[in-house]
Amino acid sequence: MLLCEQLERRFGGPAGEVAALAGVSLRIDRGEFVVIKGPSGCGKSTLLLTMGGMQRPSRGNLLFLDQNLYEMPAARRNRVRSKHIGFVFQLFHLIPYLTVRENILAGLPPGDSSRLPLERVDDLMSELGLGHRALHKPGSLSAGERQRTALARALIKKPDVILADEPTGNLDPVNAAYVFRFLGEYHRSGGTVVVVTHGQDAAGYASRTLHMASGRLSADPPPPETSTTSGHDSTPTIAAKG
Ligand code: ATP
């Protein structure tokens, strides 16, 4: 479903160039639940954004459903992304002036006005315990309610994959467990999940755990001396199984 081929992403900065991705090769098959762990600044968010068609790599290819996302025109890439990929972020990224219901519907691809999602939004709100908050705006929601709204927004279009970046980073343990339970249900129903997380919340859900250090991926935990700053290190780049 997702194939990363030697992805590199460099950022210039006052202290010199940073290699956020230093040659990442990874294959993710349909139905996997992949957890990516690693220290702050090692490139996890950059990888997730690149996989989701949101951040062009400096080098390398990203194939999603056999299409090279960064070789197609931006408008087509946006269409692919909005139809097939659901995002969940640590800081929710809800639209502040829209209600819960409207925020969830904003997850639909533009032009999708079929009746089905309109019925589905009510089902999702009730499944996620948001029914009584349908007309509330994000500012009056708890963090858990905001993230459940963001989850519903990602799920409304029945995406092929959900990419979640620290989805429980701002939640208490009860709400964090709830988010993973819901991601687990989506996975059990055939969905594909890639989640970046620092915590242990994903234990019991992951079908594969990858570790990132200095812009590179490894299937095994990093050695103790692994640097927490970006740059090249000796962690082997892997072409993951699949
Ligand atoms: P965290 O766990 O703290 O969110 P991360 O592993 O997700 O970190 P990234 O956000 O991917 O790390 O960043 C990887 C490196 O790339 C960091 O050194 C970061 O400062 C740098 N970086 C990321 N985005 C940019 C940008 N837009 N401009 C310059 N440098 C950037």
Does 237 have pLDDT greater than 50?
no
For 183-203, how does the pLDDT look when each residue is reduced to its tens digit (9 = 90+)? 999 999 999 999 998 877 787
**DSSP for 116-166?**
HHHHHHHHHHHHTT-GGGTT--GGGS-HHHHHHHHHHHHHTT--SEEEEES
From the CB of 53, is ligand 1 less than 6 Å away? no
Which atom of ligand 1 lies nearest, measured to the CA of 12? 29
pLDDT of residue 111: 74
Q: How far apart are the first and last CA of the chain?
A: 10
Spatial CA neighbour of 112 closest among 79, 67, 135: 79
Question: What is the C-alpha to C-alpha distance for residues 184 and 154, in angstroms, rounded to an integer?
Answer: 14
Name every residue whose Cβ is closer than 8 Å to that of residue 71 and which is 6 or more positions away in sequence: 61
The residue whose C-alpha atom lies closest to atom 16 belonging to ligand 1 is: 20
Q: Apex CA 112: angle with CA 110 and CA 115, to 5°? A: 150
What is the value of pTM for the model shown?
0.88
For 13-29, how does the pLDDT look when each residue is reduced to its tens digit (9 = 90+)? 787 889 999 999 999 99
Q: Which of 10, 11, 195, 217 to mutate to test the pocket of ligand 1 (most atoms within 8 A of CB)?
A: 11
- Interhelix angle 173-188/143-155, rounded to 10 degrees, is 10
What domains sit in the chain, N to C, each tagged with a CATH number? Answer: 2-95+159-218 (3.40.50.300)
Does 66 have pLDDT greater than 70?
yes
